[in-house]
């Protein structure tokens, strides 16, 4: 007869404390089974969470959450934390509308604090929370910050460490989850440093041995040991150079085996009792316990869609993606242009640059989770005669805005930024939607911005972008599968005409991947007697001046974009028309200025009224309103003439 399962009885961290070591190890196995079953159905960050099962169990046994504040950098490694804090029943709805978020959420639990889930920021949060407690005289509350090793490649993490170390009284425990990977294998000097610590952890055993032997030696033994202990710092620098952390003023503890709950509890207990800033270095294996994840050497199943839980293979087949088209075209360009190089921030695979790396390893640079450095380094490469292509997700451009503005654009650097996952992405929640790039890039002088509508235009604008050497360029495209190519009837001064209405009622300006929806809505509006012409500028910054000439023929203008309306392309068109003295009604279809909760992309678009049916109704309504207004004005004019 098998013993009852342990996991169903865990309703909160307090339920962990009565379990034996054997039960805790059984619980770890049950959690892995649970994660594989649930995440295979919903999609999500499977690999990172399989790697932190024991770490999270031990942490919740030693620290008293939410009294002790537990912070995660990044939030995609919090599934086990959610399971242990009373949310296992919600995992069937993970990343779905109304269900559990894929990242920490304050609305879900008092155990969650940081929601933004961008790497390298949690240490600054930890510093702020700990200082807040200190200023207010709060006692007996420890701040715990779980940091993935990849996050230590970000400069903000080191700014925080520098400040944390300056205050030795902060009760702050930093747990470095060292799995050698972020999205891809972690890159840079810090990664090399941690690798050294992993492989040379014997110096403490050496000192313990020395103490035992020498203390048995009469007269000279103790003085020799004290001398040896006095040069311990020097031995660390030679044998295991964690002196870098201690030089900052941080106590270092580790490395600790990250899948041994007893060892983890011992380390965490000592760290909690230290009552000052201390760094605990934990070695874990990303994807642990799941053969498909372990065998996935590229990403360790960092994030998966809906997959077979046994094989890890996707259950749905998809056509070519935007990412794959970009990846292939950049390789072709690389063969023709030896000056073209590629830069990414720890995301070679997700951005498609792994293909460029395979073809041109000496011209591919992964800078780690350091978007700011990527942008400024690219400016330097441009000055040296190269044309860098920086490929990141749209949401991560936010982090490098100052560098884009002051290092790249101010210096007219020939750098091309390629933003994957632009627009509404959906499942990963408010911090991962790429809805700000059009508004942000719109205020950057010298920057050219393209929004291709399909794969053919992506290839086209990419080649146009790398041909510009005296100004930066930016190309944005959405997540997922490509739509079919949409040919243009004609191209007028760089503007593609996609659909031509018989009457000049509405000029519909379609931005990027919204073209399919725009053309379908125009066709439906035509059947209701409204003439709509659909155009695609391709390059939305600067907007072609010919747009003004074209717009003069129409009664109203509609702009549809998958970014925030405030400061987006509609705002730019409005400003352009005002400068030209053109008074035509402008309607904007886009994303409101708010954070969007996690849902499927189609659900969010439906909520916002960005669907073919809703757009069609709006086009017809706006056209009828204009006609009624025009008829009313004609009647008033006629009455005025008769009265005269």
**If DSSP states are collapsed to H, E and C, what string results for 156-173?**
HHHHHHHHHHCCCCCCEE
Q: Which of 419, 442, 476 finishes a domain?
A: 476
Neighbours of 198 (CB within 10 A): 15
Backbone angle region of 303, left / alpha / beta, with phi > 0 → left and psi within -120 to 50 → alpha:
beta
Q: Which of 286, 363, 421, 541 is catalytic?
A: 286
Task: Look up the domain containing 248 and give its range.
Answer: 7-201+240-295
Verify that 291 and 347 share a domain, yes or no.
no
Has 399 been annotated as catalytic? yes
Verify that 37 and 169 share a domain, yes or no.
yes
User: Does residue 531 fall inside a structural domain?
Assistant: yes
Q: What are phi and psi of 446, to 5 degrees?
A: 75, -15
* Below-70 pLDDT ranges, the chain: 1-2, 42, 149, 180-244, 289-318, 628-644
Closest to 229 measured CA to CA, from 245, 252, 250, 208: 208
Give the number of residues written for the chain.
Answer: 644
Has 211 been annotated as catalytic? no
Q: What is the DSSP letter of 275?
A: -
User: Does residue 305 fall inside a structural domain?
Assistant: no
Verify that 182 and 48 share a domain, yes or no.
yes
Do the Cβ atoms of 441 and 541 come closer than 8 Å? yes
Verify that 159 and 189 share a domain, yes or no.
yes
Cβ contacts of residue 174 below 8 Å, gap of 6+?
A: 123, 126, 145, 147, 164, 250, 277, 278, 279, 280
How big is the CA angle at 544 (ends 325 and 451), to the nearest 5 degrees?
20
Q: What are phi and psi of 388, to 5 degrees?
A: -75, 140
Count: domains in the chain: 3
Cβ contacts of residue 354 below 8 Å, gap of 6+?
A: 184, 298, 327, 348
User: Does residue 206 fall inside a structural domain?
Assistant: no
| Residues β-bridged to residue 508 | 534, 558
User: Does residue 414 fall inside a structural domain?
Assistant: yes
Report the C-alpha gap between 596 and 431 in whole angstroms: 9
pLDDT of the residue at 184: 47
Q: Quote helix, strand, coil % in the chain, to nearest 5.
A: 50, 15, 35
User: Does residue 314 fall inside a structural domain?
Assistant: no
pLDDT of the residue at 198: 45
Q: Which of 476, 504, 519 finishes a domain?
A: 476
Tokens of 73: 């950098």
Cβ contacts of residue 192 below 8 Å, gap of 6+?
A: none
Q: What is the DSSP letter of 11?
A: -
Do the Cβ atoms of 202 and 254 come closer than 8 Å? no
Q: Give DSSP secondary structure letters for 580-621.
A: TT----EEEEEE-SSPPPS--HHHHHHHTT-SHHHHHHHHHH
pLDDT of the residue at 269: 95
For tokens 């005289």, the residue is 137
Q: Where are the alpha helices (DSSP H) in 200-286?
A: 203-215, 221-230, 232-239, 243-248, 261-274
- Residue-wise over 422-436: b if at least 16 C-beta within 10 A, else e? bbbbbbbbbbbbbbb
Q: Which of 399, 457, 459, 476 is catalytic?
A: 399
Q: Which of 54, 265, 299, 371 is catalytic?
A: 371
Strands of the sheet with 143-148, listed across from one edge: 69-73, 143-148, 172-178, 278-283, 251-257
Tokens of 363: 């011209």
Do the Cβ atoms of 387 and 444 come closer than 8 Å? no
User: Does residue 303 fall inside a structural domain?
Assistant: no
Report the C-alpha gap between 114 and 132 in whole angstroms: 16
Tokens of 249: 């003023």
Do the Cβ atoms of 146 and 70 come closer than 8 Å? yes
CATH number assigned to the domain comprising residue 142 = 3.40.50.970
| Residues β-bridged to residue 69 | 143
Identify the burial level of 320 via C-beta atoms within 10 angstroms of its C-beta, where 0-12 means exposed, 13-18 middle and 19 or more buried.
Answer: exposed
Q: What is the DSSP letter of 6?
A: S
pLDDT of the residue at 527: 93
Neighbours of 350 (CB within 10 A): 20
| Residues β-bridged to residue 340 | 387
pLDDT of the residue at 601: 87
User: What's this model's pTM, rounded to 2 decimal places?
Assistant: 0.81
Element (H, E) at 557: strand 556-564
- Residue-wise over 353-364: b if at least 16 C-beta within 10 A, else e? bbbbbeebeebb
Report the C-alpha gap between 592 and 537 in whole angstroms: 22
pLDDT of the residue at 237: 45
Do the Cβ atoms of 522 and 499 come closer than 8 Å? yes
CATH number assigned to the domain comprising residue 602 = 3.40.50.920
Verify that 390 and 527 share a domain, yes or no.
no
Has 61 been annotated as catalytic? no
User: Does residue 642 fall inside a structural domain?
Assistant: no
Do the Cβ atoms of 502 and 530 come closer than 8 Å? no
Q: Which of 476, 504, 531 finishes a domain?
A: 476
Verify that 268 and 395 share a domain, yes or no.
no
Verify that 147 and 283 share a domain, yes or no.
yes
User: Does residue 343 fall inside a structural domain?
Assistant: yes
pLDDT of the residue at 173: 95
Could you tell me how many helices (H) and strands (E) the chain has, helices first? Answer: 26, 18
pLDDT of the residue at 300: 45
Closest to 566 measured CA to CA, from 595, 592, 540: 592
pLDDT of the residue at 220: 47
Going by DSSP bridges, is the β-strand pair 340-344/448-450 parallel, antiparallel, or unpaired? unpaired
Report the C-alpha gap between 419 and 473 in whole angstroms: 11
Verify that 505 and 465 share a domain, yes or no.
no
Cβ contacts of residue 34 below 8 Å, gap of 6+?
A: 7, 83, 88, 91
Verify that 498 and 453 share a domain, yes or no.
no
Report the C-alpha gap between 151 and 48 in whole angstroms: 13
Closest to 260 measured CA to CA, from 55, 75, 48: 55
Verify that 440 and 383 share a domain, yes or no.
yes
For the four alpha carbons of 90, 93, 99 and 102, in that order, the dihedral sign comes to positive
Verify that 37 and 170 share a domain, yes or no.
yes
For the four alpha carbons of 596, 598, 603 and 607, in that order, the dihedral sign comes to negative
Tokens of 201: 């952890």
Q: What are phi and psi of 498, to 5 degrees?
A: -100, -30
Verify that 256 and 375 share a domain, yes or no.
no
Report the C-alpha gap between 273 and 493 in whole angstroms: 70
């Amino acid at each position: 007869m098998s013993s009852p399962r342990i996991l169903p009885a865990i309703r909160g961290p307090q339920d962990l404390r009565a379990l034996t070591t054997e039960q805790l190890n059984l619980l770890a196995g049950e959690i892995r089974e649970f994660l594989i079953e649930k995440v295979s159905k919903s999609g999500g960050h499977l690999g990172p969470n399989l790697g932190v099962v024991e770490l999270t169990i031990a942490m919740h046994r030693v620290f008293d959450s939410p009294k002790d504040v537990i912070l995660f950098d990044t939030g995609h490694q919090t599934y086990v934390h959610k399971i242990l804090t009373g949310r296992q029943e919600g995992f069937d709805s993970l990343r779905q509308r109304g269900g559990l978020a894929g990242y920490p959420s304050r609305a879900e639990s008092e155990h969650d604090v940081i929601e933004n889930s961008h790497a390298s920021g949690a240490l600054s949060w930890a510093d702020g929370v700990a200082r807040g407690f200190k200023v207010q005289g709060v006692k007996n509350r420890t701040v715990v910050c779980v940091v993935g090793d990849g996050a230590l490649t970000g400069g903000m993490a080191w700014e925080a460490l520098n400040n944390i170390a300056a205050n030795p009284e902060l009760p702050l425990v930093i747990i470095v989850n060292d799995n050698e990977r972020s999205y891809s294998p972690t890159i840079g000097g810090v990664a090399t440093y941690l690798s050294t610590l992993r492989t040379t952890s014997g110096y403490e055993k050496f000192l313990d041995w020395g103490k035992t032997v020498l203390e048995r030696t009469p007269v000279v033994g103790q003085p020799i040991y004290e001398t040896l202990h006095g040069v311990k710092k020097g031995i660390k620098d030679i044998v295991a150079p964690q002196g870098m952390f201690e030089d900052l003023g941080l106590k270092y503890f580790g490395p600790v085996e990250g899948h041994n709950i007893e060892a983890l509890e011992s380390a965490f207990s000592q760290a909690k009792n230290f009552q000052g800033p201390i760094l605990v270095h934990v070695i874990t294996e990303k994807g642990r316990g799941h053969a498909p994840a372990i065998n996935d050497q590229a990403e360790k199943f960092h994030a998966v869609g809906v997959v077979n839980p046994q094989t890890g293979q996707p259950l749905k087949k998809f056509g070519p993606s935007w990412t794959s088209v970009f990846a292939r075209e950049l390789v072709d360009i690389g063969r023709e242009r030896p000056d073209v190089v590629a830069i990414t921030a720890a995301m070679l695979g997700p951005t498609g640059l792994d293909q460029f790396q395979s073809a041109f390893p000496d011209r591919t640079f992964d800078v780690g989770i350091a978007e700011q450095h990527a942008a400024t380094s690219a400016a330097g490469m441009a000055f040296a005669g190269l044309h860098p292509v920086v490929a990141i997700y749209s949401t991560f451009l936010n982090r490098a805005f100052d560098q884009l503005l002051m290092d790249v654009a101010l210096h007219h650097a020939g750098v091309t930024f390629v933003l994957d996952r632009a627009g509404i992405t959906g499942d990963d929640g408010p911090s991962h939607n790429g809805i700000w790039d059009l508004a942000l890039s719109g205020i950057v002088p010298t920057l050219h911005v393209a929004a291709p509508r399909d794969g053919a235009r992506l290839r086209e604008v990419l080649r146009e972008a790398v041909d510009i050497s005296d100004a930066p360029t930016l190309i944005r495209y959405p997540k997922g599968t490509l739509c079919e190519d949409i040919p243009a009837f004609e191209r007028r001064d760089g503007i593609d005409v996609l659909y031509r209405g018989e009457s000049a009622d509405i000029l519909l300006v379609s931005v990027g991947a919204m073209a399919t929806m725009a053309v379908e809505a125009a066709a439906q509006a035509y059947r209701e007697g409204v003439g709509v012409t659909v155009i695609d500028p391709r390059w939305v910054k600067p907007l072609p001046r010919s747009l003004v000439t074209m717009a003069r023929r129409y009664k109203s203008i509609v702009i549809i974009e998958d970014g925030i309306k405030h400061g987006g392309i509609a705002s730019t068109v409005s400003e352009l028309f005002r400068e030209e003295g053109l008074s035509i009604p402008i309607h904007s279809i886009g994303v409101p200025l708010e954070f969007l909760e996690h849902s499927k992309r189609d659900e969010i678009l439906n909520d916002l009224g960005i669907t073919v049916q809703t757009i069609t109704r709006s086009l017809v309504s706006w056209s009828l309103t204009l006609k009624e207004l025009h008829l009313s004005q004609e009647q008033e004019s006629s009455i005025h003439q008769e009265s005269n």
